[in-house]
């Protein structure tokens, strides 16, 4: 036999000992994966609040389509602090808030620990469960005198589907009980919204594209420049009727307590 061919064969055929080592390594990886905790929420919340792995001493990792990486990580910290503060102020346990908001205890725990990047729908549910304006959950600060909110200070929050994103436009404390948002819907995209707290209203102004608002069982088609006012304490849906992105201004007013 040609010695060169023999040596090539030997290189291509791993020895029994190397096969055993590879099998042992695979078994160890499988064992680690089995031991790794997986936090699951109910079907809806699992999509809305996907757990993100932690990096020791670093920023929490963010999910795809969650906005600018560093801005989203900072927002996760602000939300974590605000959620912990308001929950304890109201003397609610995680189980209490889970029952009131419809967001699982596991998801709430991860949000408070800034270990996940919650989406728009999950944060709305938590705000309703706490009975507080959405803006307060973002940890925005109010101050005396003129208030400036830079575009980079509030990264856009996206829905789990990625079909709609919302960005806060009103500085903290600018007008008690009123919040202003920019909404952006993907072409032909839609977003169903759960009812907000009782007495909440919305005024939506279409800047570009075309929008269909479905409020309970009624549909309203809006073109660029049109606006609509409605009670938002019922189920409502935003639908883009355009082949390009639809942009809107959304003014949310909360009932005075």
pLDDT tens-digit readout, 80-131: 888 998 899 999 999 999 999 999 999 999 999 888 878 878 888 898 888 8
Question: What 3 state SS string does 25-94 have?
Answer: HHHHHHHHHHHCCCCCCCHHHHHHCCECCCCCCCCCCCCCCCCCHHHHHHHHHHHHHHHHHHHHHCCCCH
What pTM did the predictor assign?
0.58
pLDDT at 210 over 70: yes
- b or e along 163-199 (b: 16 or more beta carbons within 10 Å of the residue's beta carbon)? bbbbebbbbbebeeeebbbbbbbbeebbbebeebbee
**Dihedrals φ, ψ of 101, to 5°?**
-100, -25
Average pLDDT score over residue span 214-234: 97
Q: Which of 31-35, 74-78, 121-125, 175-179 has the highest mean pLDDT?
A: 121-125
Task: Give CA angle at 173 (162, 236), nearest 5°.
Answer: 35
Query: What pLDDT band is residue 168 in, cutting at 50, 70 and 90?
Result: confident
- Model confidence over 193-204: pLDDT tens digits? 988 888 999 999
Q: Could you tell me the domains of the chain?
A: 43-133 (1.10.260.40), 175-253 (2.60.120.10)
pLDDT at 247 over 90: yes
Residue with the bigger pLDDT between 226 and 77: it is: 226
Residue with the bigger pLDDT between 232 and 69: it is: 232
Give the per-residue pLDDT at 257.
Answer: 62
pLDDT at 22 over 60: no
Please answer whether residues 86 and 158 qualify as being in contact, where contact means their C-beta atoms are separated by less than 8 angstroms: no
The tokens of 139 are what?
Answer: 């940890």
pLDDT at 216 over 90: yes
- Model confidence over 138-154: pLDDT tens digits? 765 555 678 787 887 77
pLDDT at 218 over 80: yes
What is the chain's alpha carbon radius of gyration, rounded to the nearest angstrom? 24
pLDDT at 207 over 50: yes
Residue with the bigger pLDDT between 231 and 57: it is: 231
Give the per-residue pLDDT at 150.
Answer: 82
What do you get for the CA distance between the two ends of the chain, in Å? 93
Please answer whether residues 212 and 192 qualify as being in contact, where contact means their C-beta atoms are separated by less than 8 angstroms: no
Q: What percent of the chain has pLDDT over 70?
A: 67
Give the per-residue pLDDT at 241.
Answer: 97
Give the per-residue pLDDT at 103.
Answer: 92
């Amino acid at each position: 036999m040609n010695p060169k061919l023999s040596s090539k064969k030997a290189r291509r055929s791993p020895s029994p000992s190397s096969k055993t080592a590879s099998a042992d390594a695979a078994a160890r990886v499988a064992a680690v994966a089995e031991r790794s905790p997986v936090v699951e929420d109910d079907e809806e919340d699992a999509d809305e609040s996907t757990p993100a792995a932690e990096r020791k001493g670093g920023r929490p990792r963010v999910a795809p389509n969650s906005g600018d990486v560093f801005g989203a990580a900072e927002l996760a910290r602000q939300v974590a602090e605000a959620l912990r503060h308001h929950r304890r102020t109201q003397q609610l346990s995680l189980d209490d808030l889970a029952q009131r908001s419809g967001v699982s205890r596991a998801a709430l725990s991860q949000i408070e620990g800034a270990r996940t990047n919650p989406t728009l729908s999950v944060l709305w549910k938590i705000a309703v469960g706490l009975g507080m304006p959405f803006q307060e959950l973002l940890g925005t600060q109010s101050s005396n005198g003129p208030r400036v909110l830079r575009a980079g200070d509030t990264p856009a929050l996206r829905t789990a589907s990625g079909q709609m994103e919302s960005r806060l436009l009103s500085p903290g404390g600018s007008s008690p009980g009123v919040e202003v948002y920019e909404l952006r819907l993907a072409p032909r995209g839609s977003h169903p919204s759960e009812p907000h707290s009782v007495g909440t209203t919305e005024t939506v102004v279409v800047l570009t594209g075309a929008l269909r608002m479905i409020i309970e069982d009624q549909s309203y088609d809006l073109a660029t420049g049109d606006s609509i006012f409605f009670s938002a304490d019922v189920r409502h849906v935003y639908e883009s009727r355009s082949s390009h992105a639809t942009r809107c201004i959304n003014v949310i007013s909360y009932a005075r307590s």
